[in-house]
């Protein structure tokens, strides 16, 4: 009701008086008189749900939450902000699986994108006749998988975890073990519908409004709200041979990883379909939420290797197959693995369905959730770093900082990918070498402990700076403009110009803290 919003505005104004930092946002009373007024929620439950994220570290309250019923609702909201004498901030929130408040809007309006699903009547994903699907921005990748499989098709590029929205991952990049061969998810998009910061709904692609297309892909939500993506599809395989091999020596591990990703042509028959890697350390259990894999009877011999070497490196690969490639699969893998330097006797295999493989993280999530261990702080650090320095990183970070602090809980990922599968015109930022690694510290912590992990993250970043290792953060979190300028490097000017063009009043995704921080 109107009187509530008036009280809210007044109380916000009062809280601003005497505060040296000006209130950045006021949501105008006029909003409630618009059609979307009925779908703007101001109640504590709505505010609470939009004021936290998977990271469980940041808390920022919006003034209102929009549960849109259509793209037009989003257009109306952004237009209202743009035309307001004091533009208010707006953040699209997908699944809210960011870890540092990136989908929050302190004092502004959060758009609960997933509310749109209720109005789609099952039409959020349409598979076209030309190997693509038109997918609404709020859809989850798991739903994209299920819908496309009905046509015998599927996207080629994935994230490890499928309960993320299409709009959210395309605003970052969307990476997983498929990236070395198929590129990140942003390299597998033909077209987007985007509501810009001026409230204009624009269709864009490499040929039409290309500046907006490249800006939005990896654009951290800065240029517009993605309401539809046309995603490339391929014939879906049926089954997956999934293999893990253990190494005690990092240089053999990374050499083998780099050798395997050197075969990466989309049509190259012997190439793998997926390659990742993880550290195995003495964390109490060999299994984590990213999957349990090793047969329990083999745990003692693996644990014994971990005790001897402190860190064991686990190379993880997958090769898809179906009825007509099944007969040659074994031979192909044998040839591919010949000459690899994993520890003899430490190769483990599974044979699973394609869906089971892609959705491998879900069971771990549900298990942790049932134990109350999923909704805890997640002080994550995700990095991209050049291949030439990965061995220095192993020595200085894995073997020194991580072992000395001895607090790491949760998966630590390390795997390489190929720069030529990325498109430099897009906003996503990667190191300047043909092959680069991603390293992800996917920490979970107690509510009082996340700062210790944050200290470790800071020490890692400091180490890289001192050692001259030019890392880029993935799912970046930076505290001020200088850090963002450094992050974007030679892309900064383009990024800032695109912002001035598509969101001149700096309305969108304030939680990234790029243009409207501090």
Query: Minimal CB distance to ligand FAD: which residue?
Result: 167
Residues 216-255 that bind ligand FAD (CB under 6 A): 220-221, 225-226
d(CA 423, CA 475): 18
Shortest Å distance, C-beta 491 to ligand FAD: 18
Binding of residue 54 to ligand FAD (CB under 6 A): yes
Shortest Å distance, C-beta 326 to ligand FAD: 28
Q: Which residue in the set 137, 197, 379, 396 belongs to the binding site for ligand FAD (CB under 6 A)?
A: 137
Strands 347-353 and 311-321 come out as: unpaired
Q: Which residue in the set 56, 102, 187, 196 belongs to the binding site for ligand FAD (CB under 6 A)?
A: 102
Cβ closest to ligand FAD, residue 218 vs residue 386? 218
Cβ closest to ligand FAD, residue 137 vs residue 277? 137
Q: For helices 492-502 and 481-488, what crossing angle results, to 10°?
A: 110
Q: How many residues at the interface with ligand FAD, by CB under 6 A?
A: 35
- Residues whose CB falls within 8 Å of the CB of residue 14, separated by 6 or more in sequence, listed in order: none
In the residue annotation, 97 being an active-site residue is answered as yes
Q: Which residue in the set 57, 66, 78, 103 belongs to the binding site for ligand FAD (CB under 6 A)?
A: 103
d(CA 363, CA 354): 15
Shortest Å distance, C-beta 506 to ligand FAD: 13
Q: How many other CB atoms are found less than 10 A from the CB of residue 265?
A: 9
Binding of residue 91 to ligand FAD (CB under 6 A): yes
Half-sphere exposure of 478 (CA within 13 A, CB side): 18
Q: How many other CB atoms are found less than 10 A from the CB of residue 327?
A: 9
Order of strands across the sheet that contains 435-441: 347-353, 239-247, 311-321, 274-281, 412-418, 435-441, 381-386, 472-473
Distance of CA 52 to the CA centre of its chain: 17
> Sign of the C-alpha dihedral, residues 357, 278, 418, 457?
positive
Part of the chain binding ligand FAD (CB under 6 A), chosen from 12-20, 169-177, 243-251, 308-316: 169-177
Binding of residue 145 to ligand FAD (CB under 6 A): no
Cβ closest to ligand FAD, residue 254 vs residue 512? 512
Q: What share of the chain is helix, strand, coil (3-state, %, to 5)?
A: 40, 20, 40
For 262-267, which contacts have Cβ atoms below 8 Å and span 24 or more sequence positions? 263/336, 264/180, 264/181, 264/418, 264/421, 265/181, 266/156, 266/181, 266/182
Draw the binding track, 107-136, toward ligand FAD (x: CB under 6 A; -: no contact).
Answer: ------x-----------------------
Cβ closest to ligand FAD, residue 216 vs residue 469? 216
Q: Which residue in the set 27, 92, 153, 260 belongs to the binding site for ligand FAD (CB under 6 A)?
A: 92
Specify the residue for token string 């800071």. 458
Part of the chain binding ligand FAD (CB under 6 A), chosen from 17-25, 156-164, 334-342, 421-429: 156-164
Binding of residue 93 to ligand FAD (CB under 6 A): yes
Query: Which two three-digit tokens encode residue 184?
Result: 């990140």
Of the candidates 117, 104, 95, 108, the residue with the CA atom closest to the CA atom of residue 167: 95
Shortest Å distance, C-beta 221 to ligand FAD: 3
Cβ closest to ligand FAD, residue 137 vs residue 379? 137
DSSP-assigned states of every residue in 408-441: --S-EEEEEEEGGGS-TTSS----SSSEEEEEEE
In the residue annotation, 160 being an active-site residue is answered as yes
In the residue annotation, 72 being an active-site residue is answered as no
Binding of residue 340 to ligand FAD (CB under 6 A): no
Binding of residue 160 to ligand FAD (CB under 6 A): yes
d(CA 81, CA 74): 11
d(CA 499, CA 196): 10
Q: Which residue in the set 51, 52, 148, 159 belongs to the binding site for ligand FAD (CB under 6 A)?
A: 159
Shortest Å distance, C-beta 441 to ligand FAD: 13
Binding of residue 97 to ligand FAD (CB under 6 A): yes
Shortest Å distance, C-beta 380 to ligand FAD: 8
d(CA 8, CA 10): 5
Binding of residue 412 to ligand FAD (CB under 6 A): no
Instruction: Compute φ and ψ for 455, nearest 5 degrees.
Output: -60, -40
Binding of residue 169 to ligand FAD (CB under 6 A): yes
d(CA 470, CA 413): 18
Part of the chain binding ligand FAD (CB under 6 A), chosen from 69-77, 123-131, 167-175, 262-270: 167-175
Query: Active site residue: 160, 191, 256, 273, which one?
Result: 160
Shortest Å distance, C-beta 160 to ligand FAD: 3
Binding of residue 499 to ligand FAD (CB under 6 A): no
Binding of residue 177 to ligand FAD (CB under 6 A): no
Order of strands across the sheet that contains 90-93: 40-41, 64-66, 109-112, 90-93
Binding of residue 215 to ligand FAD (CB under 6 A): no
Draw the binding track, 454-493, toward ligand FAD (x: CB under 6 A; -: no contact).
Answer: ---------------------x------------------
Of the candidates 157, 231, 215, 276, the residue with the CA atom closest to the CA atom of residue 428: 215
Three-state SS string across 367-408, please? HHHHCCCCCCCCCCEEEEEEHHHHHHHHHHHHHHHHHHHCCC
Distance of CA 318 to the CA centre of its chain: 21
Shortest Å distance, C-beta 121 to ligand FAD: 20
Residues that bind ligand FAD (CB under 6 A): 54, 91-98, 102-103, 113, 137, 159-161, 164-165, 167-169, 171-176, 220-221, 225-226, 475, 509, 511-512
Tell me which residues are annotated as active site.
97, 160, 276
């Amino acid at each position: 009701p109107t009187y509530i919003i008036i009280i809210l505005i007044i109380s916000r104004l009062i809280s601003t008086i005497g505060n040296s930092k000006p209130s950045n946002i006021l949501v105008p009373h006029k909003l409630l008189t618009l059609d979307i007024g009925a779908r703007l929620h101001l109640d504590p439950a709505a505010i609470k749900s939009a004021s936290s994220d998977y990271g469980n570290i940041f808390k920022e309250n919006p003034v209102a939450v929009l549960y849109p019923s259509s793209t037009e609702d989003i257009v109306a909201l952004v237009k209202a902000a743009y035309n307001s004498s004091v533009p208010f901030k707006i953040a699209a929130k997908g699944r809210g699986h960011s870890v540092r408040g990136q989908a929050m809007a302190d004092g502004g309006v959060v758009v609960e994108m997933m509310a749109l699903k209720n109005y789609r009547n099952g039409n959020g994903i349409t598979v076209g006749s030309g190997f693509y699907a038109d997918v609404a921005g709020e859809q989850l990748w798991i739903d994209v998988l299920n819908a496309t499989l009905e046509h015998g098709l599927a996207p080629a590029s994935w994230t490890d975890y499928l309960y993320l929205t299409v709009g959210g991952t395309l605003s970052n990049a969307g990476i997983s073990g498929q990236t070395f061969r198929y590129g990140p998810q942003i390299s597998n998009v033909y077209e987007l519908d985007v509501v810009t910061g001026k409230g204009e709904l624009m269709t864009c692609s490499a040929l039409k409004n290309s500046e907006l297309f490249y800006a939005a892909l990896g654009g951290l939500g800065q240029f517009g709200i993605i309401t539809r993506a046309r995603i490339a599809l391929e014939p879906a395989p049926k089954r997956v041979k999934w293999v893990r091999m253990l190494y005690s020596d990092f240089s053999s591990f990374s050499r083998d990883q780099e050798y395997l990703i050197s075969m990466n042509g989309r049509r190259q028959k012997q190439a793998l379909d997926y390659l990742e890697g993880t550290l195995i350390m003495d964390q109490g259990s060999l299994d984590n939420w990213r999957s349990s894999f090793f047969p329990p009877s083999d745990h003692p011999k693996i644990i014994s290797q971990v005790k001897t070497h402190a860190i064991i490196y686990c190379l993880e690969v997958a090769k898809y197959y179906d009825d007509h490639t099944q007969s040659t699969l074994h031979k192909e893998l044998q040839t591919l693995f010949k000459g690899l330097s994993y520890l003899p006797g430490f190769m483990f295999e599974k044979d699973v369905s394609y869906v089971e493989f892609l959705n491998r993280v879900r069971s771990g999530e549900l298990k942790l959730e049932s134990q109350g261990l999923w909704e805890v702080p997640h002080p994550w650090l995700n990095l991209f770093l050049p291949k030439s320095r990965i061995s220095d990183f192993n020595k200085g970070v894995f073997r020194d900082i991580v072992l000395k602090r001895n607090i790491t809980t949760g998966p630590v990922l390390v795997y390489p990918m190929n720069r030529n599968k990325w498109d430099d015109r897009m906003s996503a930022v990667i190191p300047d070498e043909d092959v680069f690694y991603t390293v992800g510290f996917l920490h979970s912590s107690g509510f009082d402990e996340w700062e210790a992990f944050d200290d470790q993250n800071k020490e890692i970043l400091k180490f890289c700076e001192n050692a001259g290792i030019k890392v880029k953060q993935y799912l970046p979190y930076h505290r001020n403009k200088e850090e963002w300028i450094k992050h974007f490097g030679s892309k900064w000017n383009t990024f800032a110009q695109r912002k001035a063009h598509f969101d001149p009043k700096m309305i969108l995704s304030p939680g990234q803290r790029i243009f409207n921080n501090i």
